Amino acid sequence: MPLEQIRRAYHKATGRWRGCDWPTSHGEIELNLAGVSAADAQSRAERARENERAAWESAACWLERVECAAEKAEMEAALALAAANAGDLTSALAHAKRAGEHEHVAGRPDHEACWHGLEQAIEEALKHHGRETLIDFPKSQHTHPGHEVERLQDEVRHLTQRLERLEKAMACVGTY
């Protein structure tokens, strides 16, 4: 079922990328920022010796942009899933591609990319279903239609809450 594959790809990737999770050599003192948050870098800048302060301040600024890109990618991926759930695979693919672009532009290595699987699942669904609306309900005799509706309503509520949180994060809009 294409919609179920799209959902699995989304759930497999969501929450995996929140900031710099790859080795770096940032600034003149070649800081490795893997696993360091912008807040941590700012705290280190405040406590750093004079000769390291500028490097940590620069790192905090860069990490803020990476974290913002991760939030934007999460939002695009949630919109991709919502569009797929609504049957609009063309829009879903556009959102999934933008999620991947945020990873790429932020500098995340391709082998670490988490949204590629979502994009692939949507492309596969488009290949098999063309540009038609995709509505994929379970055909099992054991699944009561009301249960599926409740499950989908819960998923939409979850996505709505997530989108609201991500919208607040969009306040960090900047360039990266």
Express each pLDDT in 30-46 by its tens digit.
999 999 999 999 999 99
Mean pLDDT of the 56-81 span: 95
Distance between CA 172 and CA 70 in Å, rounded?
A: 11
Question: For residue 119, what are the contacts with CB-CB under 8 A and spacing of at least 6?
Answer: 93, 96, 97, 99, 100
What's the pTM? 0.74
Residue in 77, 82, 86, 102 with CA at minimum distance from that of residue 174: 102
Distances (CA, A) of 122 to 15, 31, 83: 19, 38, 10
Question: For residue 136, what are the contacts with CB-CB under 8 A and spacing of at least 6?
Answer: 1, 2, 3, 4
| pLDDT, position 2 | 85
Q: Is the pLDDT of residue 58 over 50?
A: yes
Q: Is the pLDDT of residue 136 over 50?
A: no
158 pLDDT band (50/70/90 cuts)? Answer: confident
Distances (CA, A) of 43 to 12, 20, 36, 102: 32, 16, 11, 26
1-32 per-position pLDDT tens digit? 689 999 999 999 999 999 999 999 999 899 99
> How is residue 175 annotated by DSSP?
-
